[in-house]
Each structure stands twice: as C-alpha cells, then as structure tokens.
Amino acid sequence: MLANQLQKAQQPVRKIIYRTRGDTGGPITRLMSPSDLGQLIKPFVFLDHFNFDGQGRRMPMELGWHPHSGIATVTVVLEGAVQYAETTGKAGVLTAGSVEWMRAGNGVWHTGAAEPEGVRGFQLWVALPPELENAPNASHYVMPEESPVDGPVRVILGSHGKMKSPIDAPDMNYLVVSLKAGERWSYESPKGHEVAWVAVHEGVLLTPTPVPSGEIAIFEPSEASIDFLAQGDTVFVLGSAPPHRHELALGSYSVHTSAKALRQAEDEIRRIGARLLAEGKKSYALREFGQARASRALPSR
C-alpha cells in the first residue's frame, strides 16, 4: 500500500492547457465549436451545456428541424426531459439519465424541444472516422435503466471498470461522474487516449487547480492518469480518446475529413431537406436551405 502511494505521489500532475466558460446565449452555453477548441481535442469537436428552466417561451418542435453529417451527436440529459424526432422516423422523450447517440453519417435531420418542466445537460459532437463519415445514419437511445454505472461513474460511451456502454461508438470514453463533497476519484486513461477534457455541470472540481461549474478544462496530451477532488457535491462529464488525425472540413451543420466527403453529404442533406419542405415543414435551417436552392436555380449571366 505504501509503495503504491509513493509511486502515485511521484507521478507528474497532468496539466490543464486550456480552459474557458464559453459563450452563453439564453439557456445554452457553447463551450466548444469545430472551428476553435474542436481543433485542439478532436474527435470531440463541439459541446453545449444547456439549461432550459421551463420559464421562457418554448420553441415548437416543428421549428427546430436541422441537419447533420459526418458526426455523431451525443445528448446527455441530467435533469428534466426533452422530446426528439429524426427524419429516420424515430421519435420519443429523453428523461433524466437518458442518452441520445445519433450517428449522422451521410446525412440526417432532427429536431427537439425541452419539456415544460425544463431540461439540463450536455450535447456533444464527435467527428467520425473516414469509414463512418458517409456511412448510413444510425441512432441509439439509451434509457436510464439501461445506462451502465460503475461507482460514481455513468458510462455514456466506451467503458469504465467492468461496465461498457451499449452504444457502438468509435474508440473513445465519455463519462458522467458524480462525486460527494470531499470525495476523490482518479481517471486512468486507456492506452492511446492522449486527448482528455472535463466540463463541470455543478460544483467545483480540483484537479489540482479548481474547475468551477460551467467551465471546460482541457488536459495536456498524455496517457497519464488524472486525479480529482470534489469541492462540494460535484457533477461533471469527462471525455478521452485517441487523437483524430484528420483535418476538419466544416459545413454549417457538418464536420468531415475532406471537402469531397462534405460535398457528398451536403447533397444528401439537400435531398432530405427538399422532402421536408415538400411536406410543409418550416424551420430556420429549412429557410436557409430554401434560399440556397433558389439561388442555385437562378440562371447564370
């Protein structure tokens, strides 16, 4: 026991190399986008921390339709509930403890809306590898009772201890960790997981410097373990993965590894969008899509 403690004390502390509170607009704080921090910790390329308290005006589901391709969206509901629907025909309600994994692949549209009591949680985007970025879309909705738990850890993607996520995702871990005041926890990075970050939902996390609620902190590239101490009851998400070794080709709603892959997916997005327009659906993204169609239809001069 003493030898283990001495060895741990001699290990270098894994440093935080970047931290931010992001940009807040209404109930959503954007902590990371593909054009900024996503370049630093890809395959994790986007993170929203959302807090709809149920007091404001709710946007109707039918006005929220928007597309994605080349990524998977991962929505973790920590409190409250949210409705969802996809152009695949899947629809339902995610309650506290539920997880959405929507692998957009070559293109899909979806929408969602907070339930009247409100909802709090995170939405993450992960960049898909070349073999999946233009593959058929696939989604998996994990209900609270299906979500594997290992001590203070709920496994969203990947594995921890003997628990493994039911979601078929590329090599990465995404965990929700809940610690009581004064509780310690150490994360042992799997082999090759040089990318690691945390975002705090509530409380304050010491690692060893404080990371307060509403902040994302990015660790230096390494496979070294990371030690945490909760200052008050603390809930946070943690992501780790091997580096995504591809450039990011960015569209309005898409992230791909090449301009060619992006163009292919945007063609599919336009095809699905045309169907939604024909069905009479309306949203900010469909308005943008309709204008783009109109401009492309103009004769050249």
Nearest-angstrom CA–CA distance, 298 and 292? 10
DSSP helix/strand/coil, 130: helix
pLDDT at 284: 86
Among candidates 300, 296, 301, 283, which has minimal Cα distance to 110? 283
For residues 56 and 27, the answer to whether their CB atoms sit within 8 Å is: yes
Q: H or E segment at 10? A: helix 2-10
Tens digit of pLDDT for each residue in 80-125? 999 999 999 999 999 999 999 999 999 999 999 999 889 999 999 9
pTM of the model: 0.91
Could you report the per-residue pLDDT of 22-35, keeping only the tens digit for each? 999 989 999 999 99
Averaged pLDDT for residues 215-221:
98
9 pLDDT higher than 70: no
The two tokens of residue 99 are 């997880």
122-169 tens-digit pLDDT: 999 999 999 999 999 999 999 999 999 999 999 999 999 999 999 999
